[in-house]
C-alpha cells in the first residue's frame, strides 16, 4: 500500500471513530432526555379561556409559562405543598424578548369556586397545577399556556449542576444554619437555596425575596445556555428529572430550544406589588386596580394580544361584601396628591 493511501485510510479511521463517538454521545443524551421526559411529564386537564385561536410553539407563536416553586422536596418536607414562588414568563421570539413577572404568594385572589378568596399560593394546595394556572390566568387576564414546577431540592440541585452562580449579595444573613456572606460571592446549591428563600432579614420582605428568586432563575438560565451547562447536561437532567413537573412535550421543548433561544438572552423583570392588609388576623397583599392593569397590559403586549383601558371586574362580585372592589382590589387610580387632599378633607370633616 502506498504511503498516501495509508495516510488517507488513517484520517478516515480517525473520522469514523470520532463520528461513532459523537453518535454514541448523542444517543446517550437523547436517551437521558427521553427518560427525563417520562418522569417529569404531567399533563393538565384544562384549556385556556383567553385565546380565540390556539397557540402553536411549532409556529413560533409568543406564549406564556407559569413557573411554580413548590415549598417541598427539601428540609424534610414531603407534603403536597404550596407554590411559595410564582413567576409568569412570556416569551416572544419575534421581539427576541422574555418577561418575568413575580407574583407575591400572599396576593388576595379568587379561588374560582364562586365563594373563596385566599392567598394566591393556596391555589396549588387546593387544586395542584391546574387550579394554580386557572387562578393566575384569571388574575392577569392573559392565557397561561404551560407550567413548569420545581421543588426546593430541585433548585438546590440545579444550582450545583451548573457549577454555581455568582451574585452580589447586599444582605449578610444566616438562614437555618446556612450563612450567606455580604458581597460578590459564588453560591452553591446549599447557599443558593438560602439566598432564594430568605425573607425576614430583607427590609423589602417578600418583595426582596422575589427579586432574588428572579435573579437566581436568570443566572441559572444563563449557565444552562452556556458551554458549561452543556458539559454538565447529565447533572442538569437529573436535577430536573427528580424534582420537576411540566405539561410541555418533548417536541415542544425541542422547538423552544431551537426557535426561541434568542428570546432568553433578553429578559425583562417586573414585580406585581400591592399593599399589606390584615383580615381576621391573617396577612394578605391587596392589589391596586391600576397597578394590576399596567402589568396585565405589559404581558398582553408581549403576547401580542389586545390591551384594556380599564380593569375587568367579575360581574358576580360587582357588589362587594368585604369592602374591596370586586371583593379583591383597592382603587389606586387617583394620584398621591389627590389621596393626600382627600385624607386632609376627611380629617377636617371630623
DSSP 81-148: --EEEEEEEEEETTTTEEEEEEE-TTBEEE-SSSS-EEETTHHHHHHHHHHHHHHHHHHHTS---EEE
Residue 310 DSSP class: S
Check: CB of residue 328 under 8 Å from CB of residue 109: yes
pLDDT of 5: 52
Number of other residues whose CB lies within 10 A of the CB of residue 91: 23
SS3 168: strand
pLDDT at 32: 73
Q: Please, how many CA atoms are within 13 Å of residue 93, restricted to the half-sphere of its CB?
A: 15
Yes or no: say if 152 and 146 are a contact pair by the CB < 8 Å rule. Answer: no
Radius of gyration of the chain (CA): 24
Q: What is the pLDDT of residue 1?
A: 57
Taking a C-beta distance cutoff of 8 angstroms, is the pair 202, 171 a contact?
yes
Where the chain has pLDDT below 50, the residues are: 4, 6, 9-11, 13-16, 18-22, 73-79, 337, 340-342, 344-350
> Please, are residues 143 and 303 in contact by the beta-carbon 8 Å criterion?
yes
Element (H, E) at 151: strand 146-151
Look-up of cell digits 422536596: 73
Q: Which residues pair with 276 in a beta bridge?
A: 285
Q: Which residues contact 63 (CB under 8 A, 6 or more apart)?
A: 55, 57, 90, 91, 143, 145, 146, 303
The sign of the dihedral angle between the CA atoms of 74, 79, 84, 85 is positive
CA angle 296, 297, 302 (to 5 degrees): 100
Give, as one character, the DSSP assignment of residue 273. Answer: -
Tell me the angle at which helices 250-259 and 3-40 cross, rounded to the nearest 10 degrees.
Answer: 120
Amino acid at each position: 500500500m502506498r504511503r498516501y493511501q495509508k495516510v488517507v485510510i488513517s484520517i478516515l479511521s480517525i473520522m469514523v471513530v470520532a463520528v461513532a463517538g459523537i453518535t454514541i454521545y448523542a444517543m446517550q443524551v437523547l436517551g437521558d432526555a427521553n427518560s427525563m421526559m417520562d418522569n417529569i411529564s404531567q399533563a393538565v386537564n384544562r384549556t385556556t379561556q383567553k385565546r380565540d385561536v390556539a397557540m402553536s410553539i411549532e409556529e413560533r407563536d409568543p406564549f406564556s409559562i407559569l413557573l411554580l416553586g413548590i415549598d417541598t422536596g427539601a428540609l424534610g418536607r414531603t407534603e403536597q405543598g404550596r407554590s411559595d414562588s410564582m413567576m409568569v414568563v412570556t416569551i416572544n421570539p419575534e421581539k427576541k424578548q422574555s418577561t418575568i413577572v413575580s407574583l407575591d404568594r400572599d396576593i388576595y385572589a379568587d379561588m374560582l369556586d364562586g365563594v373563596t378568596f385566599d392567598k394566591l399560593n393556596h391555589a396549588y394546595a387546593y387544586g395542584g397545577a391546574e387550579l394554580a394556572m386557572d387562578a393566575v390566568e384569571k388574575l392577569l387576564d392573559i392565557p397561561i399556556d404551560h407550567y413548569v414546577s420545581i421543588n426546593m431540592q430541585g433548585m438546590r440541585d440545579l444550582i450545583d449542576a451548573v457549577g454555581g452562580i455568582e451574585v452580589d449579595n447586599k444582605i449578610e444573613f444566616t438562614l437555618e444554619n446556612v450563612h450567606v456572606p455580604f458581597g460578590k460571592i459564588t453560591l452553591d446549591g446549599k447557599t443558593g437555596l438560602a439566598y432564594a428563600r430568605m425573607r425576614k432579614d430583607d427590609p423589602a420582605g417578600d418583595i426582596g425575596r422575589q427579586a432574588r428568586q428572579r435573579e437566581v432563575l436568570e443566572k441559572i438560565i444563563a449557565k444552562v445556555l452556556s458551554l458549561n451547562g452543556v458539559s454538565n447536561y447529565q447533572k442538569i437532567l437529573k436535577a430536573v428529572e427528580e424534582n420537576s413537573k411540566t405539561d410541555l412535550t418533548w417536541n415542544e421543548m425541542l422547538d423552544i430550544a431551537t426557535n426561541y433561544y434568542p428570546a432568553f438572552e433578553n429578559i425583562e423583570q417586573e414585580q406585581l406589588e400591592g399593599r399589606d392588609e390584615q383580615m381576621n388576623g391573617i396577612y394578605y397583599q391587596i392589589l391596586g386596580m391600576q397597578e394590576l392593569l399596567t402589568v396585565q397590559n405589559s404581558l398582553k403586549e408581549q403576547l401580542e394580544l389586545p390591551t384594556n383601558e380599564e380593569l375587568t371586574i367579575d360581574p358576580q362580585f360587582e357588589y362587594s361584601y368585604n369592602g374591596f372592589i370586586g371583593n379583591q382590589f383597592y382603587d389606586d387610580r387617583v394620584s398621591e396628591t389627590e389621596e393626600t387632599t382627600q385624607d386632609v378633607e376627611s380629617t377636617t370633616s371630623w
